[in-house]
Structure 1
Amino acid sequence: MYRLGVARIFWLTKPFGFLGRFFFEKAGIDMNTIDNQASTTADVLVIGFGKAGKTIAMNRAEQGDRVILVEQSPKMYGGTCINIACIPTKTMLVDSERGVKYPDSVEHRDNFIATLNKVNKQLADDAGVIVVDGHAEFTGTDSVLVTGGQEELTITATTIIINTGSEPILPDIPGIDSSRVIDSTSAQHLEETPESLVIVGGGPIGMEFATMFAQFGTKVTILDRGAQFGTAFDDDIAQALKKDLEAKGITIINNADVTGVEDGANSVSVRYSDGDTEHSMDATNVLFAIGRKPATDGLGLEAAGINTTSRGAIAVDEHLRTNVEGIYAAGDVNGGPQFTYVSYDDHRVILSDRWSDGSRVTTGRLIPTTTFTNPPLSTIGMGEEDAKTNAASRGHTAEVRFKEIADIPIMPRPKIVGTPEGVAKFIIDVEDDQILGATLYCVDSQELINLAAVAMSNKIPASVIGDTIYTHPSSTEVFNALLA
């Protein structure tokens, strides 16, 4: 369905997309080109309703540009984070912590996300963005063809933003098409709580879903291909995290290379190898969480001459320009860190380059991360070994400050809310009094890490953060405990 503008509606006799096609006179669509095809122009064309795309679209529409935003599915108004990732999964994670049953959590999730989806569409409409439902494919360096039914729409634009996001990776192994194989999207809509679940992948997505389903009462096993669990973190952090996950009843198996999946009568059998021996494990479902890839299939990038990387991402420079003048790529599709807040910063980089002085770039961005286990684990900057090497290269000393959360008397909030697990770790450049890296594995760490990011980005001395007065009882008192 095309929804273009806010004036008189033209009904066409042939269906388009899900519900038919609406063209609005104010949108300036030329309906006299060829049968079943229309064309229009835009100052800005955004492909994908993600964080960067929708924010640029609304900004430029409010500045008076004619902006068209093409989204493949009305179910994705607002983007991946709003509809199938960050927001819905965190909603279900919190429900699981509070003892809500899985089916009730699914209903809660769906009602909440439906509201957010509708609000995002309304925000775009109110800003004057022309939203078009359909699949966009490049036909040239400044044009795309939008399809979704019997009619087609050609859009020519001066500036094009590709913001199509990413999609789950599924391995090419026997049995992968089993109905009991799920990904991070379908895991949110199972018919009932799985009695047992095998999660393939020990990264952030795998750990989040392991935590969530374990709290829903599912017996969870993580099959991690790596030789050691949690290699993205320092060893002491990884060990603390593994201990807490296992305390929740989660089994973690490393050196597990999954080779196939086979349906049983009421279960699925997962085959894996540890290098020497073949093993199999039965479960109600198997969730593949081995990463996400840029969503570029069907975009027709070759028609526009847009370059991609060896990993399939759209190649961009520090201003997020592609190799084609006027075309940018933002968010997951450009191969950068796959976080919605990075996509939000991408929009600022593009606005700066295209409509301002170009001073904002992606080079040197300091990006905090959070893995939503319970408690959450947040990081920023360098790990211990890299920090020590970095400091030594400058003739400085890197000091490690590490405490278990339960052993910090000045920080009672984790105990008050009943989650005293976790650790806090800072690596400080002694001579410069600067934070080189931090890991906060504790209640509220997703908030705390942002203060560390502000300090690091603005060269605020660690001791200043440590000497600041914080409310009590609060998690921010961890800074008093380790940085003063």
Structure 2
Amino acid sequence: MADEQFDAVVIGTGQSGNPLARAMASHGWRVAAVERRYVGGTCVNDGCSPSKTIDASAKVAYLARRGADFGVKTGPISVDMHKVWERKQKVVLGSRDGNATSLAKVSTLLMGEASFAQDQPGNGQFALDVTMNEGGGTRRLVTPRVFLNTGERPHPPKLEGLDSVQYLDSTSIMELQEVPEHLVILGAGYIALEFAQMFVRFGAKVTVLERGEKIAQHEDDDVAACLRGILEADGIRILTCASVDRVTGGPGAITLTVTTDDGEQDVTGSHLLVATGRTPNVEALHLERVGVHQGDKSGHIQVNERLETNVPGIWAMGDVKGGPAFTHISYDDFRVIRTNVLEGGDASIAGRMTNYTMFTDPELGRIGLSEKDAAEQGRKVRVASIPATKIARLDEMDQSSGLLKAIVDAESGKILGGVALVESGGEMAAQLQLAIMGDLPYTALRDAVFAHPTRAEAWNNLFTSFQDGQP
């Protein structure tokens, strides 16, 4: 097995690895990109693209059933899940193939599993063995720079009987060719809740089981309660403080024995989705062979603010390093490394503002500090909050479920964060983000002249409605 020398090797072609490999190739480096499964990573293949495509179909089904509410008569509504799946596949394959083609044009794209070799050359060089997917065989890559973008995968809990039943995860549920009769979901995080609403709108009975006291654990209590009301109004049954003791049954009848404040009960569904967490893809890398440090029991790769590991010449980016597991965070990791490695800059992830959107309907867009975050930091703040019914545009569209909330520094009047649990909430949160980036006081939005009737007018309403009644 002859050594192949590269200026850099990127392992994983997600939203950090793919653009980084291309940027380094454009810089004149000889680059190898190694991918064990599909080019594009989770977002393209198992996350954002497929789930949002399926969700669009679910919303059409929901609106079609609501036609009479808008004075539009419709006939019986049915869902062809095979057609939904075909539409999802078209979007995914188009993006995947496009990414693979463009990446292969500028780098050596190897489809296989990479690991650090047992025998390392030293002298600032790293040896990687790539077991190829097709045709077998192994290729030995040698490089002074390794960039790890191997991501995460669904991680089932240790639960009696779970291994004996055929359950779904966030990847396999998007391959369903039929609407489940009764979908039981274990967990009530963002992934779980998006799928819960999606499938209840397709026509399934849906039950969500959450061992914590509330759904959407990272949100303020009032936001989580509002979201719960919206989902229950859609027909989703939600059990919180629900500890699952064991799983029994088989195809078409999976039973979870659950202990709640009301005692023990059985919940039986035709399908079970396990959405309780994810774990980093690190095992195959054999990080111990080069001494890369991992986190505590999570196993994520430890990095500094420049995304460097403890081993010079090895970086980690995206979900595998831990922290917020969002596509836009992963892409920003790429920008940090590009700036530092290729441009000689000094970029850092320190102080990076976290923002995200949960794509329920209405969306939950978040930026910056929550009320809980501010309290934990001991900050003196003012909280503005209004129900979505106070937003004229949403009322006109009959989409006035939810709320709008912002956290403002009590002394400076600067906006610290907020949440938009409203229709197009992700876009609304982005508007607030721009104000924060511009270091604007809340009064700039309170007094701005926005076009009427638009969603943006909601900022006028919000910032004249502080909870303490002060202007």
TM-score by length of 1: 0.86
Question: What CA deviation, in whole Å up to 9, does each residue of 1:282-314 have, x standing for no partner?
Answer: 101110111111111211111111110011000
- Matched letter for residue 200 of structure 1: L
**Alpha-carbon distance in 1 for matches of 2:395, 2:50:** 27
Change in CA separation of 1:275 and 1:353 when aligned onto 2, cut-off 3 Å: farther
**Alpha-carbon distance in 2 for matches of 1:472, 1:178:** 57
Structure 1 portions without partners, runs of 5+ = 1-36
**Alpha-carbon distance in 1 for matches of 2:270, 2:294:** 39
Aligned residue for 2:145, secondary structure, equals: strand
Change in CA separation of 1:369 and 1:399 when aligned onto 2, cut-off 3 Å: same
1:425 paired with 2:405, answer yes
1:437 paired with 2:417, answer yes
The answer to whether the 8 Å contact 2:390/2:461 transfers is no
The answer to whether the 8 Å contact 1:103/1:193 transfers is no
The answer to whether the 8 Å contact 1:208/1:373 transfers is yes
1:71 paired with 2:45, answer no
RMSD after superposition: 1.9
Range 310-319 or range 446-455, more displaced: 446-455
- Matched letter for residue 229 of structure 1: I
**Alpha-carbon distance in 2 for matches of 1:116, 1:378:** 25
2:343 corresponds to which of 356, 367, 386: 356
The answer to whether the 8 Å contact 1:48/1:163 transfers is yes
Residue pairs, 1:338-417, within 5 angstroms: 338-387=325-374, 390=377, 393=379, 397-409=380-392, 412=393, 414-417=394-397
Structure 2 portions without partners, runs of 5+ = 62-78, 465-471
Question: What CA deviation, in whole Å up to 9, does each residue of 1:297-347 have, x standing for no partner?
Answer: 211111111110011000100000011111000000001210010000101
- Matched letter for residue 121 of structure 1: A
Change in CA separation of 1:337 and 1:167 when aligned onto 2, cut-off 3 Å: same
Q: Give 1:54's aligned residue.
A: 18
The answer to whether the 8 Å contact 2:252/2:271 transfers is no
1:446 corresponds to which of 426, 440, 444: 426
TM-score by length of 2: 0.89
1:109 corresponds to which of 88, 97, 103: 88
Residue pairs, 1:62-461, within 5 angstroms: 62-73=26-37, 76-99=38-61, 101-126=80-105, 128-139=106-117, 140=120, 142-148=126-132, 149-178=135-164, 180-264=166-250, 266-274=252-260, 277-310=263-296, 311-387=298-374, 390=377, 393=379, 397-409=380-392, 412=393, 414-461=394-441
Change in CA separation of 1:328 and 1:478 when aligned onto 2, cut-off 3 Å: same
The answer to whether the 8 Å contact 1:229/1:242 transfers is yes
- Matched letter for residue 448 of structure 1: M
Question: What CA deviation, in whole Å up to 9, does each residue of 1:134-191 have, x standing for no partner?
Answer: 0000114612100035311001112111001100011222332345310000000123
**Alpha-carbon distance in 2 for matches of 1:232, 1:66:** 43
The answer to whether the 8 Å contact 1:206/1:289 transfers is yes
Aligned residue for 1:182, secondary structure, equals: coil
Aligned residue for 1:96, secondary structure, equals: helix
- Matched letter for residue 467 of structure 1: D
Aligned residue for 1:362, secondary structure, equals: coil
The answer to whether the 8 Å contact 1:405/1:424 transfers is yes
- Matched letter for residue 142 of structure 2: T
**Alpha-carbon distance in 1 for matches of 2:397, 2:102:** 36
Change in CA separation of 1:119 and 1:417 when aligned onto 2, cut-off 3 Å: farther
**Alpha-carbon distance in 2 for matches of 1:40, 1:280:** 58
The answer to whether the 8 Å contact 1:259/1:271 transfers is yes
Percent sequence identity is 34
**Alpha-carbon distance in 2 for matches of 1:201, 1:94:** 23
**Alpha-carbon distance in 1 for matches of 2:275, 2:115:** 28
Aligned residue for 2:235, secondary structure, equals: coil
Question: What CA deviation, in whole Å up to 9, does each residue of 1:180-218 have, x standing for no partner?
Answer: 310000000123110101100011111111111111111
Question: What CA deviation, in whole Å up to 9, does each residue of 1:409-465 have, x standing for no partner?
Answer: 3xx1x2344422110011212431211220100111111212222322332222223
Aligned residue for 1:470, secondary structure, equals: coil
Aligned residues: 438
Shift of 1:367: 1.2
